[in-house]
Amino acid sequence: MQTDVAQLIANGQPLELAGDNLYLALDLSNENLPTGSRVRAGGVLLEVTPMPHNGCKKFRARFGEGAHHFVNAPELRHRNLRGMYFRVIEPGNVSVGDPVVVVSRPTD
CATH number of the domain residue 44 falls in = 2.40.33.20
pLDDT at 79: 93
**Model's pTM, two decimal places?**
0.85
Per-residue b/e over 52-91, b at no fewer than 16 CB within 10 Å?
Answer: ebebeeebeebbeeebbebbeeeeeeebbbbbbebeeeee
pLDDT at 21: 84
pLDDT at 44: 97
Which residues in the chain show pLDDT less than 70?
A: 108
Task: Provide CB contacts within 8 A for 70, sequence distance 6+.
Answer: 9, 76, 81
pLDDT at 108: 54
pLDDT at 87: 97
Q: Domains in the chain: how many in total? A: 1
Segments forming the whole domain that contains residue 11: 3-104
pLDDT at 15: 79
Q: Are 37 and 106 in contact (CB under 8 A)?
A: yes
